[in-house]
Structure 1
Amino acid sequence: MVFPRELGNSTSRQLHDAHAIHMPTLVVPVGSTEQHGPHLPLDTDTRIATAVADAVVTRLRARDETHWVMAPAIAYGASGEHEGFPGTISIGTPALAELLVEFVRSACRWTPRVAFVNGHGGNVDALRRAVTQLRHEGRDAAWSPCVAGNADAHAGHTETSVLLHLSPDAVRQEERVPGNRAPLAELMPQMLRGGVAAVSSLGVLGDPTTATADEGRRIFAEMVDACAARVVRWEPDRGGMLT
């Protein structure tokens, strides 16, 4: 019996029958619905988290008797810093943390382990809160970021390159213009007071004009390699992040 690959396309009977042979690990993308400048879609973080999780599940099923299952993405996160722009929908850190806790409590009735794959930096506090609590309760949950080296902050070179690789038709090429390229640490005091709109009228932190699909392919591969390695090691730190 082979475990179904996608939770949303599975039946309860399939999971019940396969469970007698393998105990699955559930991999859950966590993203956001928030502005990504004039050139990227609102679901950019969710697309990236879903693609990384999908690639990780594919890799791990190839090496590990297929007992990895991918859940539908959690597509709303803590995006309050982007609420100065239309289209952003933020549920905030407390609500997201509670959602993640209840998600795992329910899922752990049939799966012993849950791995969240996070595509939005604003979700980190909620993930830390939720996974710390879950692990304290004895539930085997953890989370991994989708990260790459030398990434810019938001809707710039990094995310635009990855979207040009994953979803080129979703990128509005004619709308790509540079945003605020100052270091994030320098911008943070203003952002804490007024959100991203206080430092960039475009909602862009970085330069999307330098993005290419080839660069996106490289960055995406780096994200997948790092996430897969963390999940295989399964060594959560005190905040539940896989190291």
Structure 2
Amino acid sequence: MQSPSESPSLASRTWETVGHPLLLVPLGSTEQHGPHLPLDTDTLVATTVAERATRELRHHGVDAVVAPAIAYGSSGEHQGFPGTISIGREALTLLLLEFGRSACEWAGRLVFVNGHGGNVEALADAVRQLRDEGRDAAWLACSPDPRDAASSALPRDAHAGRAETSLIAHLRPQDLRADRIAPGATAKLSELLQRLRAEGVRAVSPNGVLGNPTGASPGEGQHLLDAICTAAIRKVRGGRVAENGSLID
């Protein structure tokens, strides 16, 4: 009943036109991103990457669709800041597992597009189980390929720094509080990790920023997004599934 001419949005299809598509599922978070970025930063990035990947795949004749985003993740390290809503690793693992079991009843393939690093352990647990059960499931991270020469000059920091600030400046500039941009904890993440895990982000960065967002720009955000999308599309089209369920080149 369905064809690639059907809507690229799962929510817009009917049950008769769903078919057996490649299903891309944005997975983000609702958590603090410093005093200058919106709480849905991770979800916005994941959704944008999934939508762009879908358009590219459909251009090549693949019936790919984007599911409504999963906007809550494992964000306990940010719980010290108002607005953060974390469902924790165990609940997220169960959610992704049951989501996958249901979706794989009709989807030809399932790929979670992850925008939040705190979700990785739950993703690995859930996707490994889905694959052990014989389901074609995988996940990928919203990050550029570090081997690409063009991406080496792009900003990289842990949280609400120059990289994410540039992405929001490009994607949704009306939600960027430019007058509140300020550096946070600028030490290497490896130096902060032990205390961060034990006490949360607020213990190492009172403003919630891990990095320095100063100097972020829409142009930089566009280049970074292009690199992320290029890597994601390449992984979906020709990547292999690693032991943790992630798609890699």
Report the Cα distance in structure 1 between the residues aligned to 2:17 and 2:194, rounded to whole angstroms: 51
Report the Cα distance in structure 2 between the residues aligned to 1:215 and 1:179, rounded to whole angstroms: 20
1:34 aligns with 2:39: no
1:134 aligns with 2:130: yes
Match of 1:182 among 173, 184, 187: 187
Amino acid in the other structure paired with 2:230: D
Amino acid in the other structure paired with 1:67: D
Asked if structure 2 preserves the Cα contact closer than 8 Å seen for 1:112 and 1:139, the reply is no
Asked if structure 1 preserves the Cα contact closer than 8 Å seen for 2:6 and 2:13, the reply is no
Report the Cα distance in structure 2 between the residues aligned to 1:96 and 1:172, rounded to whole angstroms: 30
SS for the counterpart of 2:241 is coil
Asked if structure 1 preserves the Cα contact closer than 8 Å seen for 2:166 and 2:218, the reply is yes
Amino acid in the other structure paired with 1:161: S
Query: Which TM-score applies when normalising by structure 2?
Result: 0.93
Report the Cα distance in structure 2 between the residues aligned to 1:173 and 1:160, rounded to whole angstroms: 9
Q: Give the paired residue count.
A: 236
Amino acid in the other structure paired with 2:175: A
Residue 220 (structure 2) aligns with = 215
- Structure 1 residue ranges (4+ consecutive) displaced by more than 6 angstroms after TM superposition: none
SS for the counterpart of 2:247 is coil
Asked if structure 2 preserves the Cα contact closer than 8 Å seen for 1:3 and 1:14, the reply is yes
SS for the counterpart of 2:138 is strand
CA offset at residue 89 of structure 1?
0.3
Report the Cα distance in structure 1 between the residues aligned to 2:54 and 2:128, rounded to whole angstroms: 24
Q: Deviations over 1:73-123 (max 9, x none)?
A: 000000000000000000001110110110011011111210000000000
Match of 1:53 among 50, 54, 60: 50
Match of 1:170 among 170, 175, 181: 175
- Structure 2: runs of 5 or more not aligned: 147-154
Asked if structure 2 preserves the Cα contact closer than 8 Å seen for 1:3 and 1:69, the reply is no
SS for the counterpart of 1:169 is helix
CA offset at residue 190 of structure 1?
0.9
Q: Deviations over 1:14-73 (max 9, x none)?
A: 22xxx2xxx31100000000000000000000000000111111111101x240011010
Report the Cα distance in structure 1 between the residues aligned to 2:236 and 2:62, rounded to whole angstroms: 15
Query: Which TM-score applies when normalising by structure 1?
Result: 0.95
Report the Cα distance in structure 2 between the residues aligned to 1:8 and 1:202, rounded to whole angstroms: 37
- Structure 1: runs of 5 or more not aligned: none
Q: Deviations over 1:192-230 (max 9, x none)?
A: 111100100000011111100000011000000001111
Match of 1:73 among 49, 69, 93: 69
Match of 2:6 among 3, 6, 9: 3
Asked if structure 1 preserves the Cα contact closer than 8 Å seen for 2:38 and 2:176, the reply is yes
CA offset at residue 3 of structure 1?
3.4
Amino acid in the other structure paired with 1:198: A
